[in-house]
Amino acid sequence: MISRENPARIAEIVGHVPVTGPSGVDAAVRRADAERRDWSALPVSARADILRERGETLAARQEELATLLARESGKPLADCRGEIGFALAYLRWVCDHAPRVLASSEVDDEAGRLVVSREPYGVVGCVTPWNAPVILALLKLAPALVAGNTVVLKPSPLAPLAVGEVAAALPVVFAVHGGAETGRALAGHPLVRKVAFTGGDVAGREIAANAGAMLTPSVMELGGNDPAVFLPDFSLTTADYERLVMASFATSGQVCMAAKRLYVPRGRAAEFAEAYVAAAERVLVTGDPLTPGVSMGPVVSAAAADRIRALVVASADRGGTAVPLGRVAPGHDPDAGYFVTPVLVTDLDDAAPLVAEEQFGPAVPLLVYDTEEEVLARANAGELGLGASVWSPDEERAFALAGRLEAGFVFVNTHNRTGMSLRAPFGGVKRSGYGREYGEEGLLEYVQTKVVHAPAAFRPGGQGMAPGAYPGTG
């Protein structure tokens, strides 16, 4: 049995889920496989109507689900409301666009008759993380289901409760729970025809290896060490600075696409730091996630808290200066949970672990640069390439630099979720994964192309072709 504690009040158990062993995973996959033919036989529009109706049922439970999510994850309640609302908006987007995107096409002309259709894979295995469990699950469930697949979902044991409720409300979704053993059994099951994963590099490698052993295709959305590059002409308003602070510290910095490295021209670094710290004082309030006005809760676990504190200590040992950020909510007891003081760290070199590694927590380095070519090389350093951002009032200049950054998604004059769009495909390059979510590409990840072709030469009245001949050469 998995018992999930409240990371803001570690003495409080929020709920329990049973552990699913390999035999239970096998049973869930076989149930999904048994139902896939009936589900896929429905027209896309019919599947979309069913999912849209289930989404409205979930929308009526938004406050209940948001409170549960806040208690199990440590994310502020307002953030949890936003996540669930955004996830349901994505579900509606998928339902609205799927009939067009997934439609078959047919050509009947002098070259022959060609039908290209979009067919579901069958059973899709989804392994999802704890930091945004509802939206990161819906990014897989919604397109997979509307495309005609059935799904077996394994949420993270650190946040299994709210997403479990969402899964239970959707058709042909079967939830399994557990850790690495459960994930291995799911990704490597012979009846799973596609695997979708969001999470860290270590787990991603293992899931991909298990899927690859069965020649099962996969979608991998992995970590990032996102640079935010401020060009010398950057001009930020008060609201821009506040948005930038939250781009790094929303969900206590535990977001794959958070702004994790801030690159500022040397001559403007003091000005930037002063305005950034002032913005954090206004918008960054640490406390219990259920307390109104709190914008940053605890990190997810004791291990996460220890790791972040160790990174800050290591930074100080390398000559870095940690500037505490924001305020503490009145009456808040930081010892009640896994709370970590948010900090901006200055005076670090690029080899410092806080710079070179994905910190995934409430500590962000401020780095200075002298030339555009220099900052480009430094921003592109490392094996990760998920997101990045460029800030400048000159949009053409910003887009020109963005085109040279090694990242799958580059924001301009914003960063993190304020720069997302339901129509814009999201995913990484390099070691940040492959495949895409959101947009039409996110829908097409869950279908295979099927072709039926009658060449003109072999239709009634056709002239045929010589044995062994190549088409189009005569």
Catalytic positions: 221, 256
Q: CA-to-CA distance for 222 and 207, rounded, in angstroms?
A: 12
Q: CA-to-CA distance for 119 and 123, rounded, in angstroms?
A: 12
Nearest to 365 by CA among 342, 347, 392: 347
How far is Cα of residue 386 from the mean position of the Cα atoms in its chain?
10
What per-residue string of b and e applies to 160-185 under the rule 16 or more CB within 10 Å gives b? bbbbbbbbeebebbbbbbbeeebbbb
For 123, which DSSP code? E
Residue pair 277/53 in contact by the 8 Å Cβ criterion: no
Contacts within 8 Å (CB) and 24+ apart, 240-244: 240/413, 241/275, 241/276, 241/278, 241/279, 242/279, 242/282, 242/283, 243/414, 243/418, 244/276, 244/279, 244/415
CA distances (Å), 234 to each of 247, 271, 373, in order?
17, 12, 17
Report residue 407 as tokens. 């990242």
Q: CA-to-CA distance for 398 and 75, rounded, in angstroms?
A: 32
Residue pair 268/258 in contact by the 8 Å Cβ criterion: no
CB within 8 Å of 60: residues ≥ 6 apart:
none
CA distances (Å), 147 to each of 52, 127, 236, 416, in order?
14, 19, 43, 28
* Residue 81 CB-half CA count within 13 A: 9
Nearest to 177 by CA among 197, 192, 161: 161
Q: CA-to-CA distance for 119 and 102, rounded, in angstroms?
A: 9
Residue type, 402: A
Q: CA-to-CA distance for 414 and 432, rounded, in angstroms?
A: 21
CA distances (Å), 101 to each of 54, 117, 146, 425, 442, in order?
21, 11, 11, 14, 11
